[in-house]
Structure 1
Amino acid sequence: MLALFGWGALLLSPTAFAQNNWGEVAGRITDAGAGSPVISATVLVEGTNFGTAADEDGRYRLRLPEGRYALLIRAVGYEAQTDSVRIRRGTTITHDVALAQATFEMEGALVEGRGVEDAVGVSTIDPEDIRAMPTPVADALRGVKVQLGVTSNNETSNAYSVRGGGYNENQFFVDGFEIYRPLRTQQGEQEGLGLVNADLAETLTLYAGGFPSRYGGKLSSVLDVSYARPTGPIGGSIYGSTLDGGASLRGGLADGRVGLAIAARSARPRRFFATQELEGVYDPDFRDVQGLIDVQLADGHDLHVLGMVARHRFRLEPSQRETTFGIFPNQLRTVAFQFDGLEEDGYDVYFGGARLTNRLSQALRVEHSLSYFETDEFETYDVAGDVTLFRLERDPDAPPNDPFEAIQTGQARQRDIGDNRVSVQTLTGGGRYRLGVGRHAAETGWHLRRLTFDDRLFETSALEGRDEMGNPVSVTVDSLNDAATLDTWQAAAWAEDAWDLLAEPGRLVVTAGVRADYFEFNDEWTVSPRFSARYRLSDLTTLSVATGLYHQAPTYRELRGEPAPGESILGALNRDLESQRSFLVTAGAEHLFPNTRFSLRGEAWYKGFDNLISYELENVRVVYSGENDTKGYAYGLDLQVRGELVPGLESWLNYGFLMAREEFQEPFITERNDGTRARPTDRRHNISLFVQDYVPGDDTWSLHLRTLFGSGLPFTPPAVGDVIDGVSVFESGERSNGRYPEYFRFDMGATKRVRVGRSPAGRPLMLRLTAEVLNVFNMKNTITFDFVDSGEGFFEGVPTRLTPRTVNVRARLDF
């Protein structure tokens, strides 16, 4: 823990790594015409955020390691200038700069994504930072977990929550095509690799609130990933570790009119999963291949094609598990599980999309797209388990090393059988039209989507025990066997305009838009107006606000809920279910400290919810009620310190506070959910940290630290229900009456970069060798509880713990 606080302090101390091999450059920045100082002009190492700013006299001073650098000098109202300087150890060189005033021609300019990087609730993620993060497998979605407003409590899963939202309230786009997460995963080990390949990505943009009108269908966030356009000579990468591997190729053909890229990944993290308390034979096998083609049909007319194929399998033969928990020394418990059986889960993904872009003039761009997404999921299991609960006792006067006496207090046997399958096909067509006129950047668009669900459920769960006479009994507590097919469609249209209001370009930009959605299954129209504004108070400070309505049409699993015993799947589908709705208000400010090049960012937000569909979390599975049974609210504050300790390596520290509450509505109120309750995502405090730095004196070595901390999430403990033939059956207890322990994880890695030659295309061959320690402090994080009949009239919660300390090594060659 001391190391964490030490690295956190370094974020605020940019001179902490100044060494003897550093020098500095200093000078004065002036107006090329008048010769007057240019106040607050920035001086950056090109391609990084490392640098400084000029003072009131236009003077600047910047310390850098010895070497040659390209410095980017810029200021509002002036043409940017790039100069090359040579830094020598222990010396100060003088470099004065005269900037020429810029001329602006706004008429007819097409404005695209102006100000995205500093809009409220928006974070831009560099794929290079994701590759540097110490994580079990190369999965870009895991890099989102350390962004502003994001929380997570499970390293085996790539799911995350944004500002009090549920795991299913996040939307994902790759190159403008919507992609989807699997529906049926019960635990993080089954999820595999997220469908975002960092080796193909150019930028990842996370909208944590106030997102534009073109995005719709989710309440909490949008992750929009742009893959890099393949150009130039053939290049790529290949990597491998003890847990995963992959390769990519990209380049241009036909004199640059055609660009091709392909990437493949494979992960077999059995050693990582097998470190958990549940012993057995783990066999995860996750693979995917993605490719894209860019074709310039003619000047201003381009065709973009993206394809994905993924195959994820998870097989487990559980054998045994022993968990000790409680309070030392007098309230300790041990539970022993003995299993026999087999679990096999998996899903396949097939995706193809094409987009035709036509730039009809400098100001008008037209896009039309067509895409198909299919996922086929299955879960099969036949697992029986014997559970024995022991109370550990020891004479309080006994020596500390005396063993405990194990006294059996409860015993049960449960058998679960399941064979569930679901197939989802999504066909989407759409258009987007953008026009830049004067100080306006306007756009409108539409999409039409066909959805088909084929669902089959067969599952049964039985508790086994003995009656009062000692005779064996079996009680079926859950059983379902049914199949159904659903066909439906959705449509949406939107319009939006961004208006640059003041004479100084970019000083005040106001965006207003509206979105309309229709869902055929429940015959529902929704309208979502949205508004945002960004004001540059100075060259160093930006203020921003956003507000609007957001709707989330019911997903298939929300429509279905949990079918009651004897109820069919189609009978469980609720055609009266309405879209969940959120009213959002958020305001933020960001200030750059010019002498350190660190920025401080703060955002306060409030969400009011109605028509909510209540749910409970079981590991990573979300179990829905299938009813609009609650309303609620959430509010919070997010703070971030961000900057570069050394050129080219960005670091940041996030802190978030949130409160999320819900209130059940008539006729769904019971004595166990009455009143205002915590939502399942009510994580009061959240801290995430990512630090990168070079080893002093040798910038071929770099260190990478990643930390996640979150206070405990609420859960609903069970209550003793009916006793059938001597076997206690539990039912839902007081809603959100318990909290899991806090989640804390600290991962670190060290990378050595070696130049091993040049590729045939003339590019340098860079080899990166990395060693990682995951969960450095070996924290025993709890993801859920298994509840066991104590034999004393209540259920004992047995923690299911996540992975302990793990060592991983990886190698990567870029060419």
Structure 2
Amino acid sequence: MRVVLGCLLGAVLLASAPGAAAQAWGEIAGRVTEATTGDGVAGATVLITGTSYGRNAGADGRYAFRIPEGTYPVQVSFVGYATVRDTVVVRRGETTAFDAVLAQTDQALGEVAVEAGAERGVGVSRIDPRTVRDLPTPVTDAIRSVKVELGVTSSNELSNAYSVRGGSYDENQIFIDGFEVYRPLRISQGEQEGLGLINGDLASRLTLFAGGFPVRYGGKLASVLDATYAPPGGPVTGTAYSSTLDAGAAVQGAVGGGVGVAVAARSARPQRFFAGQELDGAYDPDYRDVQGVAQARLSDAHALRLLGLYARHRFRLAPQQRETTFGIFPNLVRTVAVDFEGVEEDGYGIGFGGALLASRLSDAVAAEHRLSVFSTDEFETYDISSRTSIFRRQQAPDRPQDDLDRIIEGQATQADVADNEISQTVYTAQGRYLARLGRHGLEAGWQARALRFGDDISERTTLTGRGRDGGTVTATSREIVGGESLASWQGALWVEDALALGRLTVTPGLRADYFGYNDELTLSPRLGLVYASGPQTTLSASAGVYHQAPTYRELRGDPAPADTALRPLNGDITSPRAVQAVVGLEHFFTSRRVALRAEAYAKRFSDLISYDTENVRVVYSAENDSEGYAVGADVQLRGELVPGLESWVNYGFLVTRERFYAPDLDGLSAAEAERAAARFEARGGGDWVRRPTDRRHNLSLFVQDYVPGDDTWTLHIRTLLGSGVPVTAPARDEDRSSGIAVEFDGASIFTDGRRNAVSLPAYFRFDLGATKELRLGTAPTGAPLLLRATVEVLNVFDQKNTVAYSWVEQVEEGRRQFTAVPTRLTPRTLNVRFRVAF
């Protein structure tokens, strides 16, 4: 720890060394008022675009903040009002007056797309893209910034996957400019996942819907993350950054003829970050992507926007050795040592292209039409052999307390071979129509989607140990070879109305979805309510029905250990259904400049497709085998400890349970019926059991502050703390009540033990960053040329978090034994980052 703090202090001294130009300061002050009444708009945000300078208006709409001299683009915004943009000139020692008048808006046609007014309602979190830049994270990733938002939990800093209010990783939808994008299908470890597809340097707005989201987004059971990329145009501006783990750049501007273009590229090679784990080996991650936005004004009524994305992610690992010591000191300590030979290579390529035509049909009517194609190709190959040794650690007499003898308890050899590929292509066409008729804000839309999947799998796992007669025994615990394909289509229609009744806004909506593969039609009614009881207090609620059409992986499921071929796709499966209700309160304390937000929710699930989470891979049962519920509450305090820098703390309480349907034993043989009944008993026997995402308590914190006396220095702290989620341990061989049979001359057949009866340890992470901002001069556009130098200490307290258990299998005298070995995440890491904005 002393070394890390010394490095941090050294970087601080370096950044503040002589030669850094001293900044001369001025002030911006004014009042934000409402256009129709002239009243001050309490809580309105006044922000210098692309910087951390700004603050919220007070109770009377007045504001003031200091800033270095220069020419700046400024924007003023508040929920339900059109954003005001302008340019201000700040001079040394002077106060520049800047007043803004905000007009209410429900829907407006922007430069390219029909943009809904600022989303209001329960479960909605608006994320400032600057937060992506300031969060101390291993790589600059917009999706990772979601992990500190209300209702979100995460237990893996290597992954950009997250859970929202008890939902799985696959129950979240992600949109860029209204186009849906998808996570890879076969990723199993966080190291393999790479960068999320949203580029924060292009985004102007990120909105998270943690419940009660509008009907246009479909029916995922957990959340929606919607990113809006800024319309490119005007003078050429850009940013570039580099760190010891990643790098990137973005540039945008007008190219003439009413056409604007933005291009951004990223690259991450975080070998050093991954290599700090307990698994020693040659890590070679290589994540790259490039994205572009182009827009053109075709006429006064029509605009065209094009979006393109290509990502190439590769992960190669030659594991060498892993040694994990765990247990209770001094007498219940074990060490598992594994020696490896071989190589693992995984990767995927993503191509995406979308076109959006936005049209203003009249002053009150607008439309947008989208066409897109999303394609992924993934591969997973490995040929690895390992020798596992389990040692009992015993305290040695007459030696130091930490000197423990290693007494071997068993050894086994395992060989894993795989050559898997999977591809998906999704074609989507969509229309959306908006109209303002009196107090009604009407929306209607349609969507047609074609889906294609191809899946080839070939993998085998064998174990070698000592048999009953003392000889060598080899058991095949998993072997599967096969292929599968799917081609189908989906269609949807929806209608929604935002009816303004004074301070109350009522938003009823209805969505109809059809899935051709299982010939299923679903109807999803929804209702949202927002009541502004005063300028600082808002009450909101939503209720609705959500149907999540089964994905390819839910249709296919994962093969059981005894299977030797892919099971046929389940054509009888239906969409899991959720009835959800959420209520919320938001109050802004103008005197303390702090907002309190509290929400409570309840979800009732039916026809669930049960799943287990193995690290970051979700493994499905491929059948509607259970029902469930989730109830909980989230509380957030959010405000500015210092002007212009927002901080917040979240606490969430969650209980989520599932109950399995009794199996249909008709037509099964006696042995099959016995195994099915035993499996049902292990899964609760009809009683409620914990779902894989059942995290009772979750705390997240993000704090920003200036160094006293020098507001060119900014400190950032991010903390995540959550209680342990449940996992399922394998059943023991001798547990015949679980229907286990072991045969070493063929496939080894075994079942899980009691479902989710074991919990992972609590997850705790504390990340710290310090940033020095220097003005290097003035860019050709007149904007200040700024350098931000950041030092980050990731996992400051070197917490050894566990993301999963690896169940080490041993064959001893013909019996299989399992030992739970924790799979631990990254240790403390120092990262240095530089960013230039022009």
Q: What is the TM-score with the length of structure 1 in the denominator? A: 0.89
Deviation at 1:764, TM superposition (A): 2.2
Question: CA 1:701–1:640 in structure 2 vs 1: closer, same or farther (change >3 Å)?
Answer: same
Contact 2:107 2:115 in 1 (8 A): no
User: Is the 2:417–2:459 Cα contact (8 Å) retained in structure 1?
Assistant: yes
CA drift at 1:80: 9.8
Confirm whether residue 546 of structure 1 aligns to residue 542 of structure 2.
yes
The SS at the match of 2:534 is coil
Contact 1:500/1:508 (<8 A) preserved? yes
Tell me how far 1:485 sits from its aligned partner: 2.0
C-alpha contact (below 8 Å) 2:359/2:368 kept by paired residues = yes
One-letter amino acid of the structure 1 residue matched with residue 807 of structure 2: F
User: 2-side partners of 1:454 and 1:179: how far apart?
Assistant: 18
How far 1:43 moved relative to its partner?
A: 7.5
In the other structure, the counterpart of 1:259 is 260
Are residue 814 (structure 1) and residue 824 (structure 2) matched?
A: no
Distance of 2:553 and 2:32 partners within structure 1 = 61
Name the counterpart of 1:11: none
In the alignment, what sits opposite 2:774?
Answer: 754
* Correspondent of 1:786 among 806, 814, 818: 806
Task: Say if 1:279 and 1:730 are closer, same or farther in 2 by CA, change over 3 A.
Answer: farther
| CA displacement at 1:82 relative to structure 2 | 11
C-alpha separation in 2, matches of 1:745 and 1:608: 32
Q: Does the 8 Å CA contact 2:633/2:654 hold for their aligned counterparts?
A: yes
The residue that corresponds to 2:189 in the other structure is 187
Question: What are the within-5 Å matches in structure 2 for residues 21-420 of structure 1?
Answer: 45-46=46-47, 50-51=55-56, 53-54=58-59, 116-254=118-256, 257-394=258-395, 398-401=398-401, 403-420=403-420
**What letter is aligned with 1:194?**
G
| Cα distance between partner residues in 2 of 1:76 and 1:490 | 34
Q: What runs of 5+ residues in structure 1 fail to find an aligned partner? A: 2-20
Aligned to 1:142, the other structure's residue is in SS state helix
Where 1:718 maps in the other structure, the secondary structure is coil
- Correspondence for 2:464: 464
User: Is residue 2:574 matched to residue 1:578?
Assistant: yes
Query: Partners of 1:154 and 1:580 in 2: how far apart?
Result: 27
Check if 1:691 corresponds to 2:693: no
Alpha-carbon distance in 2 for matches of 1:31, 1:627: 55
Summarize the Cα distance change of 1:621–1:46 in structure 2 as closer, same or farther, 3 Å threshold. closer
Residues 583-639 of structure 1 deviation map (CA, whole Å, 9 limit, x = unaligned): 100000000001111100000000000000111111111111111000000011000
Q: Distance in 2 between matches of 1:215 and 1:32?
A: 32
Whether the 8 Å contact between 2:492 and 2:511 is mirrored in structure 1 is yes
CA distance in 1: counterparts of 2:285 and 2:105, whole angstroms: 57
Decide which moves more: 262-271 or 104-113. Answer: 104-113
Separation in 1, partners of 2:106, 2:325: 68
**Per-residue deviation, residues 142-161 of structure 1 (Å, max 9, x unmatched):** 00111100000000000000
Residue 661 of structure 1, aligned match among 657, 664, 671: 657
Question: Hey, what does 1:620 align to over in structure 2?
Answer: 616
What's the CA shift for 1:399?
Answer: 5.0
- Does the 8 A contact of 1:42 with 1:75 survive in 2? no
Of 713-722 and 414-423, deviating more is: 713-722
Structure 1 CA distance for aligned equivalents of residues 206 and 540 of structure 2: 21
Q: Is the 8 A contact 1:748 1:774 kept in 2?
A: yes
- Greater CA drift, 752-761 or 711-720: 752-761
- The Cα of 1:186 is off from its aligned counterpart by 0.7
Contact 1:43–1:71 (CA<8 Å) still a contact in 2?
no
For the 8 Å contact 1:109–1:363, the answer to whether it is kept is no
**1:766 Cα deviation (Å)?**
1.1
State the Cα distance separating 1:730 from its structure 2 match. Answer: 5.2
How far off its partner does 1:63 sit? 7.9
Cα–Cα, structure 1 residues 422 and 594, in superposed 2: closer, same or farther, change >3 Å?
same
Q: What SS does the corresponding residue of 1:557 show, helix, strand or coil? A: helix
Do the aligned residues in 1 keep the contact of 2:107 with 2:116 (CA within 8 Å)? no
SS at match of 2:410: strand
The residue number in structure 2 matching 1:447 is 447
Q: 1:556 aligns with which of 509, 531, 552?
A: 552
Residue 74 of structure 1, CA deviation: 9.8
* Native 8 Å contact 2:114 2:367 kept in 1: no
For 2:299 and 2:540, the matched residues in 1 are separated by: 40
1:406 deviates by: 1.1
Q: 2:593 aligns with which of 583, 590, 597?
A: 597
Deviation at 1:646, TM superposition (A): 2.1
Letter in 2 for 1:671: E
Residue identity in the other structure for 1:226: T
Query: What letter matches 2:762 in structure 1?
Result: E
Question: Do the aligned partners of 1:41 and 1:75 also contact (CA within 8 Å) in 2?
Answer: no
For the residues of structure 1 that align with 2:251 and 2:36, how far apart are their CA atoms?
48
Q: Secondary structure at the match of 1:656?
A: strand
Q: Using the TM superposition, give the Cα deviation of residue 96 of structure 1 relative to its aligned residue in structure 2, in angstroms.
A: 14
Q: Is 1:706 aligned with 2:726? A: no
Cα drift, residue 786 of structure 1:
1.3
Please identify, of 787-796 and 405-414, the stretch whose mean Cα deviation from structure 2 is larger. Answer: 787-796
Cα deviation per residue 1:710-742 (whole Å; 9 max; x = unaligned)?
A: 100000011123454599975310001000000
Aligned partners of 1:239 and 1:810 also within 8 Å: yes
Q: Is the 8 A contact 1:38 1:75 kept in 2?
A: no
Indicate the percent of aligned positions where both proteins have the same amino acid.
Answer: 54
Q: Residue type matched to 2:379 in 1? A: F
Q: TM-score, normalised by structure 2?
A: 0.87
C-alpha separation in 2, matches of 1:26 and 1:315: 54
Per-residue CA deviation, residues 437-479 of structure 1 (Å, 9 max, x unaligned), is 1111101111111111111010111111121233222111111
Identify which of 526, 533, 546 aligns with 1:530. 526
Q: What amino acid is the match of 1:777?
A: F
Q: CA deviation at 1:121?
A: 0.3
SS, match of residue 733 in structure 1: coil
Q: Are 1:312 and 1:348, in contact at CA under 8 Å, matched by a contact in 2?
A: yes
Corresponding position of 1:14: none
Q: Distance in 2 between matches of 1:763 and 1:86?
A: 12
Structure 1 pair 464–794 and aligned structure 2 pair: CA distance change class (3 A): closer
Using the TM superposition, give the Cα deviation of residue 39 of structure 1 relative to its aligned residue in structure 2, in angstroms: 8.3
Query: Do the aligned residues in 2 keep the contact of 1:293 with 1:306 (CA within 8 Å)?
Result: yes
Change (3 A) 1:128 1:28: closer
| Secondary structure of residue in 1 paired with 2:216 | coil
Contact 1:769 / 1:811 at 8 angstroms: preserved in 2? Answer: yes
Give the match for residue 795 of structure 2: 775
Cα deviation for residue 563 of structure 1 reads 3.1
Query: Structure 1 residues 484, 245: CA separation in 2 closer, same or farther (over 3 Å shift)?
Result: same
CA offset at residue 51 of structure 1?
A: 4.2
1:287 maps to amino acid: R
Displacement of 1:253:
2.4
Q: Give 3-state SS (helix, strand or coil) of 2:217's partner.
A: coil
Q: Compared with structure 1, are the counterparts of its residues 480 and 692 closer, same or farther at alpha carbon in structure 2 (3 Å cutoff)?
A: same
* SS of corresponding position for 2:145: helix
SS at match of 1:131: helix
- 1:637 matched to 2:626? The reply is no
Q: How does 1:416-427 map to 2 (within 5 A)?
A: 416-427=416-427
Partner amino acid for 1:200? L
Q: Give 1:26 shift.
A: 11
Counterpart of 1:15 in structure 2 is none
Conserved in 2, the CA contact under 8 Å of 1:108 and 1:363?
no
Q: Which amino acid aligns with 1:377?
A: E
Using the alignment, how far apart are the partners of 1:761 and 1:660 within structure 2?
54
Asked if the contact 1:720–1:729 (Cα under 8 Å) also holds between the matched residues in 2, the reply is no
> CA contact under 8 A between 2:26 and 2:67: conserved in structure 1?
yes
- 1:270 corresponds to which letter in structure 2? Q
Distance in 2 of aligned mates of 1:87 and 1:758: 14
- Secondary structure of residue in 2 paired with 1:189: helix
| Aligned residues: CA RMSD | 3.5
Shift in alpha-carbon separation, 1:141–1:737, aligned structure 2, 3 A? same
- Alpha-carbon shift at residue 671 of structure 1 (Å): 1.5
Per-residue deviation, 1:401: 4.0
Mapped to 1, the partners of 2:608 and 2:639 lie a distance apart of: 39
| CA distance in structure 1 between the partners assigned to 2:334 and 2:825 by the alignment | 19
